[in-house]
Structure 1
Amino acid sequence: MKYIESMQNTRVKQWKKLLGKKERDKSRKFLVEGFHLVEEALKNGLVEDIILKEGTDLPVKWDVELADLFTVHNEVFAALADTDTPQGIIAVCHKPRFELEEGSLETVLLIDRVQDPGNIGTMIRTADAAGFSAVILGDGCADPYSPKVVRSTQGSLFHLPILKGNLGDWIERLQTGGVKVLGTALQGAKPYREIERADRFALLVGNEGSGVSTELLQKTDQNVYIPIYGKSESLNVAVAAGILMYGLKN
C-alpha cells in the first residue's frame, strides 16, 4: 500500500484530470466513488487503481490483486471526491468495451440531447433493470462517465453496453436489422398502450425541454406518448422512459 501526501504528486495530478471529460475521453479512464460502485467495477475487471482516504479499510473479501493500492492524505482525497459525504474510497477504472452483434440488439434505448446527469444515469439503470440490450447516447447528452452519471447508474454502467453515436445513423441501422423504432412525441403520435407491440424495438427519448428533434422523429417507424390524467404539463424524461421501457415490452 503506497502512501501519497502531496497534492503535487504526479499520480494525484493525473487522477484529478479525470474529473474532466477531455481527459476521460483521451485516456478512456474514469473515477468511481463509493464501496458499492468500486466493488462492481472490480467484479467486471475494470479497476486500475484504488485510492483510500487515511483511516479507511478495504473489505477483506475483495479481490484486489490486479489493482494498485494507495492511501492518500485527507486533503488529497477531498480534491478527488465528488460527493458531499465521501465514503473514503475511489477507483480509477478503464471504460468498458462492448462488442455488439446485430442480432443481439433486441431492445434499445436511444437518448437525444438529455443533459442532466441524474436523468442519464437513471435511464441507464432502468434500461438495465428492464432487460434492454443497449443504451445509445446521441450528441448533446451528458457524459455517461461523469461522476454524477456513474453514481446514478448504481453499477449498471459496468454491464450494460453504453454507446455514443449519430442517432440518425443508428435509427437506420436498427431498422435495417428489423428493429422497430418508436419515437416519443405529442404530435402525430398514439398512446403507447394502443400500438401494436414488437418483440424487437428501440425507444427514442429526448431533451428535457424540447423533446426529440423533429429530424429524428421523421425517421421513426411510429411515435408514442404517455397520457397525462392530472394537471401536470409533462413527465420527467427519466420517469417517462421508465414507464415506456417496461410498458412496451412483451
Structure 2
Amino acid sequence: MEVIQSTKNEKVKLWKKLRTKKFRDQTGTYLIEGEHLLLEAFKTNEVLEVIIQEDKELSTGWAINHQEIPVVLISKEVSEHISDTKTPQGIFAVCKKRNTKVDFVQHSRFLLLDGVQDPGNIGTIIRTADAAGVDVVILGEGTGDLYNPKVIRSAQGSHFHLTIETGDLIEWLEQIKQNEIPLFGTALEGAVDFKTIMPTESFALVVGNEGAGVSKEALGKTEKNLYIPIYGQSESLNVSIATGILLYHLRK
C-alpha cells in the first residue's frame, strides 16, 4: 500500500488540481470526501482510487468487497492540503465522471435547472429531487458544475442515484415535449398558483437562476408556469426550497 506524506508529491498535486473545473473536465475525474460519499460511490463502480488519512478507518467490510481498488495512505498534512473543507474528514476518493443516459420510456419525472449558479443550491436541489423520486436532473448551460466540491457535498451522495445530464436546455425541453410529458415552468408573472395543478405520474419542472429566474425562451416552451404564494413579507423563496415544494406537490 502506497504511503504519501509530502504535499509536494506528484499525486497530491493532481488531487489538488481536481478542485478546479478545468482539470476535472480534462481528466474526466473528480474528488469526493467523506465516508458517506465513498460508500455511495462504491455502489456505482466509479471509484478509481481511495485515499485515507493514516489515522482514519473505513467501515468494517469495505476492503473485502473492494480489494481491486487502489488505496493510498496520506498524512494529516496532505489531507488538509487536498481537502475543500476547514475540517477534513480524512477519507477521499478519485471517481470517474458519471456516464448516464436519459430513457424516455423508463424515465417520467424530470427536473431542469436554468442558470442556477450557487453550488450549495444545486447540491440541495439534487438531493431534494432524489428524495422526491425524480428520475432525471438536467443542468442547462449557465448552471454550475455538477462536480464542484460544494455541489457534491450538498448533494450528499444523491448525484450517484439519479440520471444527471447537461446541455442546451431548450433542446432538452423540446425532447420532453415531443415525448408528451407535462412541462411546467416557474415564474412570478403569467403563472398560476401551484396548488391548482393536480399531481401527476409524469412531469417536467424547470427552475431558474436565483436572481433572474427561468429565461423567457424556456418559459415559452412550457404548458403552464407556476408560482408559490408568499404569505409573509419575504420577497421570494430560496430556489432549492421552492423546488422542494413544487416537486412534492407535482408527484402523484
Fold shared by both chains (TM-score > 0.5): yes
Partner AA of 1:54 in structure 2: E
Aligned position for 1:123:
125
Question: 2:105 is paired with a residue of what secondary structure?
Answer: helix
Give CA deviations for 1:179-210 in whole Å, capped at 9, x if unaligned. 11100001111001113544321000000011
Measured in 2, the distance between the counterparts of 1:240 and 1:23 equals 33
Measured in 2, the distance between the counterparts of 1:153 and 1:46 equals 17
- Residue 16 of structure 1 deviates from its aligned partner by 1.4
Measured in 1, the distance between the counterparts of 2:241 and 2:24 equals 28
Question: 1:215 is paired with a residue of what secondary structure?
Answer: helix
Question: 1:25 is paired with a residue of what secondary structure?
Answer: helix
Aligned position for 1:47:
47
CA RMSD of aligned residues (A): 1.2
What is the 5 A alignment of 1:63-78?
A: 63-78=65-80
- Residue 139 of structure 1 deviates from its aligned partner by 1.1
Question: 1:124 is paired with a residue of what secondary structure?
Answer: helix
Normalising by structure 2, we get a TM-score of: 0.95
Mark the runs of 5 or more structure 2 residues left unpaired by the alignment.
none
Aligned position for 1:58:
58
Among residues 219, 222, 228, which one is paired with 1:220 in the alignment? 222
Measured in 2, the distance between the counterparts of 1:214 and 1:98 equals 29
Mark the runs of 5 or more structure 1 residues left unpaired by the alignment.
none
Give CA deviations for 1:126-151 in whole Å, capped at 9, x if unaligned. 11111111100011111111111111
Question: 2:78 is paired with a residue of what secondary structure?
Answer: helix
- The range that moved more, 81-90 or 204-213, is 81-90
- Residue 15 of structure 1 deviates from its aligned partner by 1.3
Give CA deviations for 1:86-117 in whole Å, capped at 9, x if unaligned. 11111111122112222122110000111111
Measured in 2, the distance between the counterparts of 1:148 and 1:66 equals 29
Partner AA of 2:39 in structure 1: E
What is the 5 A alignment of 1:4-153?
A: 4-62=4-62, 63-153=65-155
Measured in 1, the distance between the counterparts of 2:74 and 2:94 equals 14
Normalising by structure 1, we get a TM-score of: 0.96
Measured in 1, the distance between the counterparts of 2:128 and 2:68 equals 31
Partner AA of 1:8 in structure 2: K
Identity rate, percent: 50
Measured in 1, the distance between the counterparts of 2:198 and 2:75 equals 59
Aligned position for 2:211:
209
- Residue 34 of structure 1 deviates from its aligned partner by 0.6
Question: 1:141 is paired with a residue of what secondary structure?
Answer: coil
- Residue 239 of structure 1 deviates from its aligned partner by 0.1
Measured in 1, the distance between the counterparts of 2:208 and 2:71 equals 41
**1:184 and 2:177 aligned:** no
Question: 1:104 is paired with a residue of what secondary structure?
Answer: coil
